[in-house]
Structure 1
Amino acid sequence: MADEEHRSPGAGYASPPCFMHELQPGYAAAEADPQAVADVMRWRKAERQRLIEKRLAVSADERAAMAGRIAEHLWQTIGEPAGRRLSLYWPFRGEPDLRGFAAEFHADGGSLALPVVIEKAAPLVFRDWRPRMKLEKGVWNIPVPPEAPAVVPDIVIAPVVGFDARSYRLGYGGGFFDRTLAALPARPLVIGVGYADAAIATIYPQAHDIAMDFIVTEDGRVG
């Protein structure tokens, strides 16, 4: 599932703000500086488009092979599924398809959930999900479980558009995952997943951005 604005990229993308190349990788624009924040957001939009176009240019077979390697690394990282609830996502616009991994996790005694967008600028809700469950169309036509009581996952796997060495995640721009993590009563284990070539020097993290615990790509664990 992709969390945030989910707009299809256009043929081109905006040039980065003129001073972005001068900033250090650890830079975070002060929220009180509207111009700096606007420049970071404009840079992120351009970078987001570039990275989505890049991954969509990769063949479906190659993406499937990389997703299989990501799943292998997840097994090594997560360990025993029994008694644990995992929130995954429904793959969107070339994201790694980990539904096979989810089915194995469930078969081995784990529980599953999918995140659901309830409204704009609000935290996600996690709903119980099982393989072969009949789903309905949610926001952006992404399949979601039928309305049911919310559940709390022990592990959250979040797709990334891009990521940096500090495990900050570049998503789709709506901030759903950041709001969700901030609102949970207890923080789960949060794993970002994406392709290795989505690595960037920095996302220029802001005060509201929340880092993943680590990132997993087809090359292994980062962070």
Structure 2
Amino acid sequence: MRPLTDAQLDKASLRTVALARRAALDLPAREGAAERAAAHAMAWLGEVKGEVVSVFAPIGGEIATDPLIQRLRAAGADVALPVVLEAGKPLLFRLWEPGEELVPSIGPGRFSIPAPPETAPAVSPDVLVVPLAAFDARGNRLGYGAGFYDRTLCLLRRAKRVEALGYAFAVQELDAVPAEPHDERLDAIATDAGLICPAED
């Protein structure tokens, strides 16, 4: 087994800090935050009619996405959810209709990811609404260490213009998140406190 780098060790400690903040939020705070974050996300997304927007089914205390999904569908977007095929591979995306039963796919650590069934059509999203453990104002993101979204964004961005919108509670923001060469930056982050749009380098 390879020893962990300083950046990986730093990421692990920062992830712990941000996730502890997230876990401390009570239910009323979470519900209100999800509604506000959804409104901020839609303000950034703008016209989404006819676009495929990948959202995520929350796991492990992540911000609820139901309010955002409702707004996306009302605005005419096609909603997709990610599917984990196997560790070390990019994500697949399948269309999803609210009310359609989700099935578990493998996820980071002990989690499984709720995903559409194999019968749902596979699609290439125009926008990815990305879950995260932590983020900073420069658009750097900390996931859960499995690298699914970094691999997926790298692949999709080579093929076409794809926007990545981080989606989280404001308490998950850190002063700085270490960025490694393989890390894919976010185009914006929507939280309950507002929008963060990183400046171009």
**Secondary structure of residue in 2 paired with 1:142:** strand
Counting only pairs closer than 5 Å after superposition, residues 1-223 of structure 1 correspond to structure 2 as: 38-139=5-106, 140-147=111-118, 148-184=120-156, 185-223=159-197
The answer on whether the counterparts of 2:168 and 2:190 sit within 8 Å (CA) in structure 1 is yes
Identity across matched positions, percent:
36
The amino acid across from 1:143 in the alignment is P
**Secondary structure of residue in 2 paired with 1:172:** coil
The amino acid across from 2:32 in the alignment is A
Report the count of equivalent residues. 189
TM-score of the pair, normalised by structure 1: 0.80
Structural RMSD (CA): 1.6
Shift of 1:106: 1.5
**Secondary structure of residue in 2 paired with 1:132:** coil
C-alpha distance in 2 between matches for 1:77 and 1:195: 16
> Greater Rg, structure 1 or structure 2?
1
Shift of 1:42: 1.0
Shift of 1:187: 3.3
Moved over 6 A (4+): none
TM-score of the pair, normalised by structure 2: 0.88
Structure 1 unaligned regions, length at least 5: 1-33
C-alpha distance in 2 between matches for 1:136 and 1:154: 24
